[in-house]
């Protein structure tokens, strides 16, 4: 199958740890700002949507901003729960791909204050999914293979590691914290949009990460 050419990618949470590594990778930038990665073969545009909470730092993308800012890289300080702003961004930049990193992701913080996790992780994901559905005009009778919504989730949705020592895609969900419950909810909403509306959705349940910009 021919690889789909990425044109206008909406990256949420792109100033955070993993999101900024993703953007730097696509533009061929390493943690030192040098052009070291050559295998991304990316010639499109990135629209980075981040509301800059404690987890976001625009300095993570200084090398990208300096070289591509206003040309192929655009930053929008927007909350993903703001439906009117998200709708504007889809239209203004003609978004064809969403890579959804933005999330409240600190387990201990979720125990002390779960409301922010439900707002961002559940309502924010819904806002993005619905904006994509409406802008792309997809339905079960009108499917598209030239657009994609990729939802970044966590292995926390599966709960504690059982006797097998690993999780698979068919492992039942068993969230144990407000954080993991909010991410499990967002996963189910994303999958529901795939089954109900035919929205092209892929999902990855990532484990712990470490590296530059953490």
Q: Is the pLDDT assigned to residue 159 strictly greater than 90? A: no
* Active-site residue, selected from the candidate residues 50, 79, 156, 187: 156
Domains of the chain, CATH where assigned = 8-206 (3.40.50.720)
Specify whether 156 is catalytic. Answer: yes
Instruction: Determine the distance from the C-alpha atom of residue 40 to the mean position of all C-alpha atoms in its chain, rounded to a whole number.
Output: 18
Structure-model confidence comparison of residues 99 and 115, the more confident one: 99
Contacts of 142 (CB under 8 A, 6+ apart): 198
Percent of the chain with pLDDT over 70: 93
Percent of the chain with pLDDT over 90: 63
Would you place residue 200 in the very low, low, confident or very high pLDDT band (cuts 50, 70, 90)?
very high
Give the integer Cα–Cα distance in Å for 63 and 30. 9
What pLDDT, on the 0 to 100 scale, is given for residue 36?
Answer: 56
What pLDDT, on the 0 to 100 scale, is given for residue 170?
Answer: 83
Structure-model confidence comparison of residues 1 and 181, the more confident one: 181
Give the integer Cα–Cα distance in Å for 179 and 157. 9
Using alpha carbons, select from 90, 27, 61 the residue that is nearest to residue 212.
61
What pLDDT, on the 0 to 100 scale, is given for residue 26?
Answer: 93
Q: E strands of 13-168, at which residues?
A: 45-49, 73-76, 97-100, 148-154
Would you place residue 2 in the very low, low, confident or very high pLDDT band (cuts 50, 70, 90)?
low
- The DSSP code for 139 is B
Would you place residue 114 in the very low, low, confident or very high pLDDT band (cuts 50, 70, 90)?
confident
Give the integer Cα–Cα distance in Å for 29 and 32. 8
Degrees, nearest 5: CA angle 116-136-74: 60
* Active-site residue, selected from the candidate residues 158, 179, 193, 197: 179
Degrees, nearest 5: CA angle 193-140-205: 30
pLDDT for 183-199, tens place per residue? 999 999 999 999 999 99
Place of tokens 């690993």: 166
pTM attached to this predicted model? 0.90
Element housing 150 (H / E): strand 148-154
Using alpha carbons, select from 53, 142, 144 the residue that is nearest to residue 103.
53
Specify whether 179 is catalytic. Answer: yes
Sort 25 into a burial class: Cβ within 10 Å, 0-12 / 13-18 / 19+. Answer: middle
Q: Is the pLDDT assigned to residue 142 strictly greater than 80? A: yes
Give the integer Cα–Cα distance in Å for 212 and 201. 28
Instruction: Determine the distance from the C-alpha atom of residue 193 to the mean position of all C-alpha atoms in its chain, rounded to a whole number.
Output: 16
Which residue blocks in 27-82 are alpha helix, DSSP H?
62-68
pLDDT for 46-91, tens place per residue? 999 999 988 889 999 999 999 999 999 999 999 999 999 999 999 9
* Active-site residue, selected from the candidate residues 135, 155, 173, 213: 155
Degrees, nearest 5: CA angle 33-22-214: 75
pLDDT for 79-94, tens place per residue? 999 999 999 999 999 9
Would you place residue 175 in the very low, low, confident or very high pLDDT band (cuts 50, 70, 90)?
confident
């Amino acid at each position: 199958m021919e690889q789909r050419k990425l044109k206008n990618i909406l990256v949420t949470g792109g100033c955070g740890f993993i999101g900024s590594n993703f953007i730097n990778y696509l533009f061929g930038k390493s943690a030192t700002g040098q052009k070291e990665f050559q295998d991304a073969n990316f010639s499109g545009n990135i629209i980075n949507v981040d509301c800059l909470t404690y987890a976001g730092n625009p300095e993570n993308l200084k090398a990208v901003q300096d070289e591509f800012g206003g040309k192929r890289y655009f930053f929008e300080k927007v909350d993903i729960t703001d439906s009117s702003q998200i709708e504007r961004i889809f239209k203004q930049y003609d978004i064809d791909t969403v890579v959804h990193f933005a999330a409240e992701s600190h387990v201990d913080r979720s125990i002390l204050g779960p409301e922010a996790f439900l707002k961002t992780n559940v309502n924010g994901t819904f806002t993005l999914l619905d904006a994509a559905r409406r802008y792309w005009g997809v339905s079960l009778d009108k499917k598209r293979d030239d657009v994609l919504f990729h939802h970044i989730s966590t292995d926390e949705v599966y709960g504690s590691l059982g006797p097998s020592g690993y999780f698979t895609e068919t492992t039942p969900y068993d969230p144990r914290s407000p954080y993991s419950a909010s991410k499990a909810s967002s996963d189910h909403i994303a999958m529901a949009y795939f089954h109900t509306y035919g929205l092209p959705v892929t999902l990855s349940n990532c484990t712990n990460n470490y590296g530059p910009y953490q």
